[in-house]
Amino acid sequence: MAESNHVVPVICSGIAAVLLKKIDDEYKVLLLKRASSVLNGAWCYIGGSIEEGEKAWEAALREIREETGISEVSLYTSNAFDEFYSPEGNFIYKAPVFVGYVAGSQNVVLNGEHSEYRWLTGSNDQKGYA
């Protein structure tokens, strides 16, 4: 079947994960500073591709483990999707977003994709990281 020019395909081949951890009686969100050709220097949440045979939630757990070394996390689905339009490919990329609550004893160990991390509060001040 020939593809029509008036149709913009939706591609869902990846996941996004936002991690929360209770630090000093306050939940903080983890941001990672990219150290790769894609979004180099940008502060991001966890994201990655779904591998063949994986379910999206399995990919989220694997990406969390690979990017942060965190293995003790309670993972939940959200009703949000990470999505954007690619003008080069003329497609919409859409990824389910998961929320993970990290056990207090878990420490972040970055892989080569990131250079720094911060646990941030919801406030806009610069004192919000751990």
* CATH for 43: 3.90.79.10
Cα dihedral 71, 125, 24, 105 in deg (nearest 10): 20
Please give the tally of structural domains in the chain: 1
The parent domain of residue 56 ranges over: 10-120
The pLDDT score that the predictor gives to residue 104 is 87
**Does residue 20 lie within any of the structural domains?**
yes
**Does residue 4 lie within any of the structural domains?**
no
Which of 38, 97, 27 is closest to 63 using CA atoms? 97
In the chain (130 residues long), the average pLDDT of successive 10-residue segments reads 74 96 94 90 94 97 97 94 92 96 93 94 57
What is d(CA 56, CA 61) in angstroms, rounded to the nearest whole number?
9
The pLDDT score that the predictor gives to residue 88 is 93
The pLDDT score that the predictor gives to residue 4 is 58
pTM of the complete model? 0.84
The pLDDT score that the predictor gives to residue 87 is 94
